[in-house]
Structure 1
Amino acid sequence: IDVDQHEDLATKYRIQAVPTFILFKNGEAVWRHSGVIHSSELQGVIEKHYT
């Protein structure tokens, strides 16, 4: 999300740094990470939660 245009969502999900990644499963946050992350690490996290 654009935190400048959607301050309500940034507050709701406690986004204090950009980038912040939040993975949701069935409407619930199952993983979050603030800051830079290597694409292979992100891919591994996605595969862990969605396969």
Structure 2
Amino acid sequence: MLFRDAYKAVAEQLKNRILKSQKETKQMHKGSINKICLEEIKKKMNDSY
């Protein structure tokens, strides 16, 4: 699968809230599956445009 297509597929899953972590992870950095920070991203985008 092309990266572009995979990116769109994941974005759609996030939008529909069907993407789930396959296993518990300890990753808690911004952008990780456990701390996606979508609201922060939306705010930054709205502030930029």
| TM-score, normalised by the number of residues in structure 2 | 0.26
More helix by share: 2
Return the index of the structure with the highest Cα Rg: 2
Higher relative contact order (CA 8 A, sep 6+): 1
